[in-house]
Amino acid sequence: MEWIYDRKKIEFALVRELLDELNKLGADGWEIIYYQETKPAKFGEKYESIVLFKKEKSCNQEKT
């Protein structure tokens, strides 16, 4: 089995924003293999998460 990987930085103010983005990626076949979250330094700034994803590489997918 071959995998393709992607890394994404997601900034969010509300947890719902993060979950919506993760659900979109999950619906496209991406699985989270690593997650790190940083709290904002100041009130009113956004949280930042770094997420590493993988999904199975199909025969008709090109390398990215």
* All structural domains of the chain with their residue ranges: 3-56
CATH 3.40.50 correct for 3-56 = no
Residues 32, 25, 30, 45, CA torsion sign: negative
- φ and ψ at 35, to 5 degrees? -140, 135
Q: What is the pLDDT of residue 46?
A: 97
pTM of the model: 0.82
pLDDT interval class at 62 (50, 70, 90): low
Q: pLDDT value at position 58? A: 84
Phi, psi of 16 (to 5 degrees): -60, -40
pLDDT tens per residue, range 13-54: 999 999 999 999 999 999 999 999 999 999 999 999 999 999
Give all strands of the β-sheet with 31-38 in edge-to-edge order. Answer: 3-12, 47-56, 31-38
